[in-house]
Structures are given as C-alpha cells and as structure tokens.
Structure 1
Amino acid sequence: MFELLVVAAGGGLGAAARFMVDGEIRARHNGGFPWGTFVVNVTGSFLIGLFTTLAFTLSYLGVPHGTVRLLQLALVVGLCGGYTTFSTSTVESVRLAQSGRMRLALANSLGTLMVTVTAAGLGMWLGTVLSGPYG
C-alpha cells in the first residue's frame, strides 16, 4: 500500500509539472506542431534515463534494495510517468493527419520516437558520468 502512495504522489507532481510546462509552451507557440507535448516527452525521457542509471549506481553502492525501489517508484514510475504523455502525442499526430497536415503528423510521430530515445540515452550517459567510477 505504501508503494502505491509513493507512485501516486510522484504521479501527481509529474502531472502538475506537465500541465505547467505544456501550458507555458502552448501559450508561446500557437498552432502547428505540438511543441508542449514534444518537450515534455523529451525531457521526461531524459529524466527516466538519468534516474534509472543513478538507481543502478545506488544499488551497486549497497543502498538497500527497498530504498532504491521506492526511489524508482517515486521518480521513474510516478514523477516521470505522470509527466510524460505519449498517448497525447499519438492523439496529436492523428489530429494533425486528419486535418491534412501529414508532414507535421509524421514529424511529430517519428521525431518524438527518435528524440525521446536519444534523450533517454543522454540521461543514462549523464547518470554514468555523475556516478563516476561506480557507473
């Protein structure tokens, strides 16, 4: 039950952060490409890579498994899960296609896939760098 609360708390914070970030970007970039969702998914993927790598390092350093698990649940599953929104990205691509903007739909779909995977890799790289000899 405690793990569920940890995920819920992280998810609530992530969803609130997504709402704020997406809203700010949408207010500055009207129409066309869905930059708010794109930025949220890229930064969230980066954080997933970073947090996952740092959790691995904590395990390697002997931090108890239960503590590492709670951190992963709170940060990766909860916070990042509530923050990222790949379902919205898909809906936005479909809407772009339905409105005849096929190039933007394709750019959103493929761009999101390529850039989020790259961002997760960069997060993992940074986690390894921050972990020093333990990464």
Structure 2
Amino acid sequence: MDVLLVAVGGALGSVGRYWCSGLVARLFGESFPWGTVIVNIVGSFVIGLVAALALPEGRFLLPTNARLFLMFGICGGFTTFSSFSLQTLNLLRDGEWLLAGANVSLSLVLCLLATWLGLVAGVIVNR
C-alpha cells in the first residue's frame, strides 16, 4: 500500500511539475530554466512545511502513509534534480557559464531557504 501511495503522489507531483514549469517558461521565456528553479523552491518549501507540521509535537500528527504520499510522492515527483542537472549541463555546453553558475547558486540557496521557511511556517502553525 505504501508503494501505491508514493506512486500516485509521484504521478500527481510530476503532472504538477509539468504544468507549473511550463507556465513559468511561457511567462518568463526559456533562456534560463526559471520553471525548474521555481518548482524546486516551491517543493522545498512544501516539504519543509509538511515535515514541521508532521512532527510528534506538531498540530497535525500525520500518519506514516500520509507523510509518504505528501513528502516522498507529491514532493518527490514535483521537484526535479535531474532536470536541474541537465539544464545546467546544457548551459555549460552552450558556453553560458554565468547562467549555469546562477542556476546552481540560485537553486541551492533558494531551495535551502525555502525548506527552512517551510519549517518555520510549520512551527508557527503548530503553536
């Protein structure tokens, strides 16, 4: 049952990633992989929020299957390190060293910040 929950959540997350990154690409263009950056920031925030809300002292003690569905399934399917890696390598291949460095830096810093903000938001909700 756990595998099915992760699979369904992953499918939903993947469809959400496809829709969201496509929307961002249409709005901002495709010269820089903003869609992947935004998806990974949002996914990082959500996983941090769910992790904080699901703590034993949290307001929403989620059962294991709900955590699997949300964190491993939806968030795992929604965020995409493989796309980030390929887009960064493509930028490097095209000689876009500055954009490749910006992609790595923005993704690392903003995703860590988003995860931390999600945890902080969850702690605030838990009060």
TM tier, smaller:
over 0.9
Are 1:46 and 1:121, in contact at CA under 8 Å, matched by a contact in 2? yes
Instruction: Label 1:68 to 1:129 Cα distance change in 2 as closer, same or farther (>3 A).
Output: same
Equivalent residue, structure 2, for 1:30: 29
Once residues 31 and 101 of structure 1 are traced to their aligned partners in structure 2, the CA distance between those partners, rounded to angstroms, is 13
Compute the displacement of 1:6 (Å): 0.7
Compute the displacement of 1:52 (Å): 0.6
Q: Tell me the amino acid that sits aligned with residue 126 of structure 1.
A: A
Compute the displacement of 1:29 (Å): 2.0
Once residues 38 and 70 of structure 2 are traced to their aligned partners in structure 1, the CA distance between those partners, rounded to angstroms, is 18
Question: Of Structure 1 and Structure 2, which has the larger fraction of its residues in helix?
Answer: 1
Once residues 45 and 108 of structure 1 are traced to their aligned partners in structure 2, the CA distance between those partners, rounded to angstroms, is 16
Q: Tell me the amino acid that sits aligned with residue 41 of structure 2.
A: V
Task: Note the residue ranges of structure 1 that are not aligned, 5 or more in a row.
Answer: none
Rg comparison, structure with higher value: 1
Give the percent of matched residue pairs that are identical in Structure 1 and Structure 2.
35
Are 2:53 and 2:126, in contact at CA under 8 Å, matched by a contact in 1? yes
Once residues 85 and 62 of structure 1 are traced to their aligned partners in structure 2, the CA distance between those partners, rounded to angstroms, is 29
Alignment partner of 2:108 out of 113, 117, 132: 113
Q: Tell me the amino acid that sits aligned with residue 4 of structure 2.
A: L
Q: Counterpart of 1:60 in 2: which secondary structure?
A: coil
Q: Tell me the amino acid that sits aligned with residue 95 of structure 1.
A: N
Q: Counterpart of 1:74 in 2: which secondary structure?
A: helix
Task: State the number of aligned residues.
Answer: 127
Instruction: Label 1:129 to 1:29 Cα distance change in 2 as closer, same or farther (>3 A).
Output: same
Compute the displacement of 1:61 (Å): 6.1
Once residues 10 and 130 of structure 1 are traced to their aligned partners in structure 2, the CA distance between those partners, rounded to angstroms, is 24
What is the TM-score when the length of structure 2 is the normalising length? 0.94
TM alignment of 1:46-85, pairs within 5 A: 46-56=45-55, 59-60=56-57, 68-85=63-80
